Structure 1
Amino acid sequence: MARVVLAMSGGVDSSVAAHLLTEAGHQVIGVFMRHGEQSPAVCATLSGSEGTEQARSGGQQLPVMRLDHKQGCCTAADAEDARRVADRLSIPFYAIDLNEEFGRIMDYFTAEYVRGRTPNPCVQCNNWLKFGKLFDYADSVGAEFVATGHYARLVRRGGEVALVRGIDDGKDQSYVLFGIERKYLERMMLPVGEFLKPDIRELAAKVGMNVAEKKDSQEICFVTSGRYDEFVKRRREGSSTPGEFVTTAGEVVGTHEGIEGFTVGQRKGLGVALGARKFVVRIEADTNRVVLGDRDELGRRELTAAECNWLTDVPVDHSVRGLAQIRYNASAAPAEFTRLADGRLSVMFDEPQFAVAPGQAVVCFERDRVLGGGWIE
């Protein structure tokens, strides 16, 4: 059996993943990634407790922060839940401090909103941290694999490892994994992808895990207030993006306090009454204008995407029939897509797609297999 570094978030999915891996005989090392907005006073108090502890499983010296007490920051309860599960399973558990690296995620998130785009920090976290930094960590402890609690699967097809949808259609997370480096597929494990969510909760309860009924996280972890616009304004102190609401016909119908408060497709919380339902059709970062229109004006059949990543060989300048998904909670739709010679991706949908938001990912599938994708322009 293999040595496996498992990302443990304190939730039921990664906790059951730990159980499944240990039951299969693997040598599991649980890792909690410490990040997010934190109390400066608490972090100052904790800074003196950082040290080095020898891993029980292999003898390497690992820089860690022990989680023997609550940290007092936004992830303290999750960290404690993860530690309890690790103790119950008798696996080593460490927290790695990724606050500095996580600043890159927050900078990206802020910059995208200021550009009038809609970021997806969870995808970038997978790309840069969970399947980036954790592989560095795995190499440092001699681990062959990195595992997470994502609802997706890895299967061998045509002589290579393919990323495919999890069997639970309602929880499938293959979309958010499109950006990982292809070379890592051979070294990944996704234990819960073979299960339905209710079965995962039932299994957690059966083995006595206190997280069996813990609610799934719904918010971006570093936006502790739940207000994205407030977070962006705090992080971009001194910059200002107020402007006008205009209709698609060019009529000015009001003003707003900043484009970071809006995303394409948004209907609620616009702060302007027009007597009829209106949606954000477009955000013009150069003028700070938020363009409003009817729902049918949101429909798009074509899009292009940049900064693409491919998990299998897709020929350049050759149209491929398949499915394309424009956001995490959208259904994949029939489309024809082309990997362009300049590195971008062109997608033509059979039917118009609504609320195609620049900054979100478009992911291409061949039936249930992730081929790759890119960031919508």
Structure 2
Amino acid sequence: NPDVLCNREIKFDIFLHEAEKLGADFVATGHYCQKGEENGRFKLLAGADKNKDQSYFLCQLTQKQLSKALFPIGHLQKSKVREIAQEQDLITADKKDSQGLCFIGKVKLPVFLQQKLEPKEGDIIELSNDLQIFRDYSRITDSDDYNRLSKAFNYKESDGEIVGKHQGAHYFTIGQRKGLAVGGTPLPLFVIGTDVEKNIIYTGQGDAHQGLNKNALFIEKNEVHWLRDDLKLEFGESRQYDVRIRYRQELVSSTLHMHEEGLYIHFSKAMTGISPGQFAAWYNGEELIGSGVIGH
């Protein structure tokens, strides 16, 4: 997620260091989140405006970075911020909410990638929900079999039929619906897998497709990050948290299990669109506790 990485590597690393060189004690940002402190530990808390809460974007911060952060609008509703901006006659008072990446300008990310990467035509393959690998997954009865529950589906070209063409598998992520340009199906097509090496996109009909919904995910040991390092799980320990895998997603009650090879997250209900390379973040109530890069 570019926003998460930008905050970790730029705003609260390079930029923070430059600010400190100039004698600054803190860096204030416009993120809709809040900061608390208890017994010398800093807490990253959700913003008061739950529809705009941006704590997820700061899920990779450290205690040191958070200690230097100020979030002056985190306790306000977005409507109140606009009202204050209008009272102060700021030119941004009625500006639309930014949704792109600040470091590439006003262009949207897919367009930016198309400008930088050569198009490469490949096949869009549709997979039936009745495929054997999906039937096998639905039959897993041992809820403690986290490895099988989180394991990536391995698709083959022969598993389905070609229903269209795309201009580059690297433009798509699991759970994506837009940009496929394939019609005529009873239910909308969603991306359920990508093979960048072979330049193939695998799709399934409807958001209830088994290829889009899984009960667990896995994070490699070296990709697990604890903002609250005093709450770090040790090998063999488990704990309940609420988890999201994308910005503004509803939190899902989950159990985290720390194994020797890494962290397994078992959801209380199937999670839609788990995409390797994205970030999972876990919360205790309003507080973000930790995060990690999804492996599978």
TM-score category of the 2 structures, normalised to the smaller one: 0.7 to 0.9
Hey, what's the Cα distance between the residues in 2 that align with 1:147 and 1:304?
34
Deviations 1:76-108 (A, max 9, x none): xxxxxxxxxxxxxxxxxxxxxxxxxxxxxxxxx
Q: Which residue of 1 aligns with 2:94?
A: 213
| 2:45–2:55 contact (8 Å) kept in structure 1 | yes
> Shift in Å at residue 179 of structure 1?
0.7
For residue 345 of structure 1, the aligned residue among 238, 247, 263 is 263
Hey, what's the Cα distance between the residues in 2 that align with 1:354 and 1:136?
38
TM-score (norm 2): 0.79
Hey, what's the Cα distance between the residues in 1 that align with 2:15 and 2:259?
31
Q: Which residue of 1 aligns with 2:22?
A: 141
> Shift in Å at residue 234 of structure 1?
3.6
SS at match of 1:192: coil
Q: Which residue of 2 aligns with 1:167?
A: 48
> Shift in Å at residue 353 of structure 1?
1.1
> Shift in Å at residue 220 of structure 1?
2.5
* Counterpart amino acid of residue 240 in structure 2: R
Q: Which residue of 2 aligns with 1:322?
A: 241
| Structure 2 CA distance for partners of 1:263 and 1:128, relative to 1, 3 Å | same
* Counterpart amino acid of residue 333 in structure 1: V
Would you say 1:155 and 2:74 are equivalent positions?
no
Task: Specify every segment of 5 or more residues in structure 1 that has no aligned partner in the other structure, as ranges.
Answer: 1-119
| 1:364–1:370 contact (8 Å) kept in structure 2 | yes
> Shift in Å at residue 357 of structure 1?
1.7
Hey, what's the Cα distance between the residues in 2 that align with 1:256 and 1:123?
28
Q: Which residue of 2 aligns with 1:199?
A: 80
> Shift in Å at residue 158 of structure 1?
4.1
Q: Which residue of 2 aligns with 1:290?
A: 201
For residue 219 of structure 2, the aligned residue among 305, 309, 327 is 305
| 1:223–1:231 contact (8 Å) kept in structure 2 | no
Q: Which residue of 2 aligns with 1:82?
A: none
For residue 280 of structure 1, the aligned residue among 177, 186, 191 is 191
SS at match of 1:357: coil
Deviations 1:282-319 (A, max 9, x none): 11223221111132221111011242321112122311
| 2:100–2:109 contact (8 Å) kept in structure 1 | no
Hey, what's the Cα distance between the residues in 2 that align with 1:157 and 1:348?
29
| Structure 2 CA distance for partners of 1:188 and 1:341, relative to 1, 3 Å | farther
> Shift in Å at residue 349 of structure 1?
0.4
Hey, what's the Cα distance between the residues in 2 that align with 1:321 and 1:274?
43
SS at match of 2:215: strand
* Counterpart amino acid of residue 285 in structure 2: R
SS at match of 1:198: helix
Task: Specify every segment of 5 or more residues in structure 2 that has no aligned partner in the other structure, as ranges.
Answer: 129-158
Q: Which residue of 2 aligns with 1:252?
A: 161
Equivalence map 1:87-166=2 (5 Å): 120-166=1-47
Hey, what's the Cα distance between the residues in 1 that align with 2:204 and 2:72?
44
Hey, what's the Cα distance between the residues in 1 that align with 2:106 and 2:71?
28
Hey, what's the Cα distance between the residues in 2 that align with 1:264 and 1:256?
15
Hey, what's the Cα distance between the residues in 1 that align with 2:249 and 2:7?
19
Higher relative contact order (CA 8 A, sep 6+): 2
| 1:241–1:260 contact (8 Å) kept in structure 2 | no
Residues paired across the two proteins, number? 254
Hey, what's the Cα distance between the residues in 1 that align with 2:219 and 2:286?
21
* Counterpart amino acid of residue 370 in structure 1: L
Would you say 1:263 and 2:142 are equivalent positions?
no
| 2:254–2:267 contact (8 Å) kept in structure 1 | yes
> Shift in Å at residue 165 of structure 1?
0.6
Q: Which residue of 2 aligns with 1:45?
A: none
Hey, what's the Cα distance between the residues in 1 that align with 2:91 and 2:283?
37
| 1:244–1:252 contact (8 Å) kept in structure 2 | no
| Structure 2 CA distance for partners of 1:330 and 1:351, relative to 1, 3 Å | same
> Shift in Å at residue 231 of structure 1?
2.9
Identity over aligned pairs, percent? 31
For residue 108 of structure 2, the aligned residue among 226, 231, 237 is 226
Deviations 1:204-241 (A, max 9, x none): 2223323222221122331644261x43344345xx64
Hey, what's the Cα distance between the residues in 2 that align with 1:135 and 1:303?
33
SS at match of 2:42: strand
* Counterpart amino acid of residue 126 in structure 2: T
TM-score (norm 1): 0.63
Hey, what's the Cα distance between the residues in 2 that align with 1:128 and 1:347?
26
| 1:153–1:165 contact (8 Å) kept in structure 2 | yes
> Shift in Å at residue 365 of structure 1?
0.4
Q: Which residue of 1 aligns with 2:134?
A: none
